[in-house]
């Protein structure tokens, strides 16, 4: 026990240090990363947005960041599978805590998210966001597009989120349409994976429907994503309802007929060629979860996003 510590989220001596907390104890930052608002030296930042006022069905995704932080404790110490490396040996990652929002003034929410995201992005760090419902991706796209231009949106989702939008709605089902209208994403290089619903408009975005995934291997799906984005700067957004409810019951708008977590994780593992400039995991609603199934899936997806960033950093050295 002499070389071990606890509450690594507060006691870490430096940002690249490994944690030794017992899985069942200690402060629950994401993967035990240091809780701090100091961005100096951070290569990647994990940030929560506890907002779910834009949901069209079951609320509760405001508790998603907490749930994913708790579930991420199982990853905190060992080399992370399937990357076979300590993700934090060469990549300094912090947990920046949560976005500060006024629950009584939802009209102020988009600007608050964008403003606080800009502070993080100004540091040059990679931003991984834990939602929250899918509306939060729109102000995140605004912040990222301001730096990188129109982005290739890579969206794992059961829904297209392209319903009509009057630019004033607080709605998780229309943010993609608004992002296209505002030039935040390039529809010709954007792709949606796992869609199992219909919307009136596809906005010119390529769709891989749920039934199509059944007939494709993980390698084929990943190859399709990489070829369609054509090397563009990409934003990766993962709505947990992309997964079948058997693998992610804890979400606001579950849709049967989706892929397994194993298949989609195998797809994510193969996306190291994507130029991912930012990412999020959204719509985890733990009130409808069972035995943390959905929270574990969400935390695993988030860990894979950090793993892809670590591989990209290593390749670019």
Q: Judge whether 69 and 114 are in contact, CB under 8 Å.
A: no
Indicate the range of 49-58, 161-170, 237-246, 270-279 predicted with least confidence.
161-170
| 161 labelled ligand-binding | yes
Pull the structure tokens for residue 55. 């949901």
| 102 labelled ligand-binding | no
pLDDT at 89: 87
Show me where the domains of the chain are located.
8-316
- Per-residue pLDDT tens for 95-140? 999 999 999 998 999 999 999 999 999 999 999 999 999 999 999 9
pLDDT at 16: 85
Does an H or E element contain 69, and which?
helix 64-71
Predicted TM-score of the model (pTM):
0.95
Q: Average model confidence (pLDDT) for the chain?
A: 94
Architecture of the domain spanning 8-316: 3-Layer(aba) Sandwich (3.40)
Pull the structure tokens for residue 228. 């369609």
pLDDT of 23 higher than 80 = yes
Q: How confident is the model at residue 56 (pLDDT cuts 50, 70, 90)?
A: very high
Instruction: Tell me: cis bond preceding 132? Omega within 30 of 0 counts.
Output: yes
Indicate the range of 1-10, 95-104, 204-213 predicted with least confidence.
1-10
Closest alpha carbon to 11 in 31, 32, 30: 32
The predicted model gives 236-255 an average pLDDT of 98
Indicate the range of 82-86, 132-136, 278-282 predicted with least confidence.
82-86
- Collect all residues with Cβ–Cβ distance below 8 Å to 316 and sequence separation of at least 6: none
| 198 labelled ligand-binding | no
pLDDT at 40: 95
| 239 labelled ligand-binding | yes
Distance CA 248, CA 265 (A): 13
Pull the structure tokens for residue 34. 């240091």
pLDDT at 139: 97
273: helix, coil or strand?
coil
pLDDT cut 70: percent of the chain above it: 98
Instruction: Tell me: cis bond preceding 82? Omega within 30 of 0 counts.
Output: yes
| 7 labelled ligand-binding | no
Indicate the range of 18-22, 226-230, 278-282, 295-299 predicted with least confidence.
18-22
| 165 labelled ligand-binding | no
């Amino acid at each position: 026990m002499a070389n071990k510590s606890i509450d690594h989220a507060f006691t870490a001596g430096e940002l690249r240090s490994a944690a030794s907390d017992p899985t069942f104890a200690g402060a629950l930052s994401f993967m035990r990363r240091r809780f701090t608002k100091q961005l100096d030296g951070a290569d990647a930042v994990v940030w929560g947005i506890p907002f779910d006022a834009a949901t069209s069905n079951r609320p509760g995704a405001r508790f998603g960041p907490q749930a994913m932080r708790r579930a991420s404790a199982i990853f905190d110490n060992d080399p992370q599978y399937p990357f076979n490396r300590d993700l934090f040996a060469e990549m300094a990652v912090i947990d920046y805590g949560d976005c500060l929002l006024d629950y009584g003034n939802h009209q102020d929410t988009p600007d608050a998210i964008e403003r606080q995201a800009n502070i993080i992005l100004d540091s040059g760090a990679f931003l991984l966001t834990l939602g929250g419902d899918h509306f939060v991706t729109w102000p995140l796209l605004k912040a990222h597009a301001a730096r990188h231009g129109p982005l290739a949106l890579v969206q794992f989702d059961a829904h297209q989120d392209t319903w009509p939008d009057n630019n004033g709605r607080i709605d998780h089902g229309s943010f993609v349409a608004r992002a296209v209208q505002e030039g935040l994403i390039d529809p010709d290089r954007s792709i949606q994976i796992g869609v199992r619903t219909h919307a009136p408009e596809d906005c010119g975005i390529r769709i891989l429907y749920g039934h199509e995934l059944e007939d494709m291997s993980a390698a084929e799906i990943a190859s399709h994503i990489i070829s369609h984005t054509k090397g563009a700067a990409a934003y990766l957004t993962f709505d947990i309802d992309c997964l079948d409810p058997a693998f992610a019951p804890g979400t606001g708008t579950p849709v049967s007929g989706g892929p397994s977590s194993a298949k989609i994780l195998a797809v994510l593992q193969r996306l190291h060629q994507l130029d991912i400039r930012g990412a999020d995991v959204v719509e985890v609603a733990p009130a409808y979860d069972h035995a943390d199934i959905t929270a574990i899936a969400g935390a695993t997806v988030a860990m894979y996003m950090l793993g892809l960033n670590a591989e990209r950093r290593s390749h670019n050295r």
